[in-house]
Amino acid sequence: MNKKEIVSLAGEFINHSPNNFITKEAALNPKCINMRIYEPPIFAFGEADDALYIKYKSAGVIGSHFLSPAEWLPTAKTVISFFLPFTEPIKKANAIDCRWPADEWLHGRYEGQNLLLQLLEYLVKIISEAGFKSLAPSTHQRYKVGHIEDSMKFTSNWSERHIAYACGLGTFGLSKGIITEKGMSGRLGSILTTLDLPKDTRKYNDIYEYCTMCGVCIDRCPASAISFDGGKKSAICSDFLNNVGKKHNPRYGCGKCQVGVPCESEIPIK
């Protein structure tokens, strides 16, 4: 099994999955019926023993609760990170009004997350069946998200954004999302495996290298959670998401900082 095969199988899975389309029964409004959620994913392949994973344990980055690839899968050789871009209908709908997330975005965040988990399960299965141990930390029983180790900071022991950065998929933006060659409007996932694949080279040196610091995301945030000085305040963002969740349970989300911005669908030109 090689990189090309993994990328191809993932693309076929997304393109042909019936769960990549919103059904009439689930649609929040008629315009959402048969709406496609994701474009095919893009991938980056990184070293399981990358020195960045030690840095991630620092208090100023993620913290000691972060588990390195070796702590999830001791014999891991490769970290596979991917980005699933949202389709244009989802991005365009959510870019219209900055006050509240569009129905299309709520579908992308909820039904889209369910499909992402299915893709992770599928990739883990095919790599394992090829004879290589593999697992997806975000679906593992050891995965934790919330206030870990009495921390006041809302965090997790495996960060898809930091993994994407380490693998070479993209850099952070002011809104703390990851800017990839397909932008930041979408979802991230990752897998650890003992399959030793050729690794991609990080094309950047700074964590904010792809961000122009234009500040458009500051104006688009309905919760005023983003600033030049402090980036995104997660607690303020979380409070807004909780209010969305109360109104639209089980759906939730916002994503205003990911649409209507220069980094929505590409790496912006500085």
Main-chain dihedrals φ then ψ at residue 76, nearest 5 degrees: -60, 140
Q: Does the pLDDT value for residue 146 go beyond 80?
A: no
CB atoms within 10 A of CB 23: 13
Q: What is the pTM of this model?
A: 0.94
Q: What Cα–Cα distance (Å) separates residue 241 from each residue in 47, 87, 249?
A: 34, 22, 11
Q: Does the pLDDT value for residue 124 go beyond 70?
A: yes
CB atoms within 10 A of CB 53: 22
pLDDT tens across 197-249, in order?
A: 999 999 999 999 999 999 999 999 999 999 999 889 988 999 999 999 999 99
Main-chain dihedrals φ then ψ at residue 13, nearest 5 degrees: -60, -45
β-partners of residue 193 are: 78, 134
Query: How high is the mean pLDDT of the chain?
Result: 95
DSSP structure string for 123-147: HHHHHHHTT--EE-GGGSTT--EES
For the chain, domain boundaries: 3-258
231: left (phi over 0), alpha (psi -120 to 50) or beta: left
Give CA torsion, residues 88, 252, 180, 217, to 10 deg: 90
